Amino acid sequence: MSGSKRYQSSLEKFDPESYLSGREALEVVKSFDRTKFDETIDLAVRLGVDPRKTEEMIRSTVALPSGTGKAVRVAVFAQGEAANAAREAGADHVGADDLASEVEGGMLDFEVAISTPEMMATVGKLGKMLGPRGLMPNPKSGTVTEDVAKAVEDFKGGKVEFRTDRHGNVHLPIGKASFSVDDLATNLNVVIEELERLKPASAKGRYIKTISVSSTMSPGVRIDPTRVIE
């Protein structure tokens, strides 16, 4: 990808070594030549945390005011009334042991997995399937809950989950290339504000080290951490 004519053309439209404000960076990304599909705009933030320490492992969710622009497929592990409520809320896959068997057999046609607390004993056995893909339900992210219907509505309405990787990086989508700069900036600001709110008390030195935005097929554009929100 880095050798494509389109990628090289994008590099000529800005200084890859410069640091821009959040809005300026988004304007640059939107100026890149578009592909035939509506690319996702991705945000990458490197945090000054040590994910090996439990207290510095950040995992949470944030509701993007402008949405993600993507149809999110949701699987819900529930039974009885909770299962009915999940279906009515628009969940794509709903079940208990039957759904667990499907997942065990390789069915992973979803981006979010939600579970009632009572189903976690069953879901826990799917760790090898769900864990590596970041799909394991977790109370911290609101994906283990009694109110599965609300969780389904939230995630389909623009709520996204994020977590630090082993290097302290956070990656998440903040919209589509077709979004206006205003809508993308609104989503960007909300994410940065949430990350600031989650700063561990034990984190030392600079907390937000680097920030960049890019589209699916473009180079990253750097953002000055002190000028994200203007």
Longest CA–CA separation in the chain, Å: 57
Does the pLDDT at position 2 exceed 60?
no
Answer whether residue 3 shows pLDDT above 70: no
What is the reported pLDDT for 217?
Answer: 85
The pairing of beta strand 74-77 with beta strand 93-95: parallel
- The structure's pTM equals 0.80
Tokens 């939230």 appear where? Answer: 154
In the chain, pLDDT over 70 holds for what percent of residues?
A: 98
Domain 74-156 homologous superfamily, CATH: Ribosomal protein L1/L10, domain II (3.40.50.790)
pLDDT tens across 179-200, in order? 999 999 999 999 999 999 999 9
Question: Domain locations in the chain?
Answer: 14-67+160-223, 74-156
Rounded-to-integer distance, Cα 30 and Cα 99, Å = 40
- The pairing of strands 74-77 and 112-115 is parallel
Task: Choose which CATH entry (3.30.1360.30, 1.10.1060.10, 3.30.190.20, 3.40.470.10) describes domain 14-67+160-223.
Answer: 3.30.190.20
Tell the burial category of 150 from Cβ atoms under 10 Å away from its Cβ (0-12, 13-18, 19+).
middle
**What does the pLDDT look like over 42-101, one tens digit per residue?**
999 999 999 899 999 998 899 999 999 988 999 999 999 999 999 999 999 999 999 999
CB atoms within 10 A of CB 68: 23
Mean pLDDT of the chain: 93
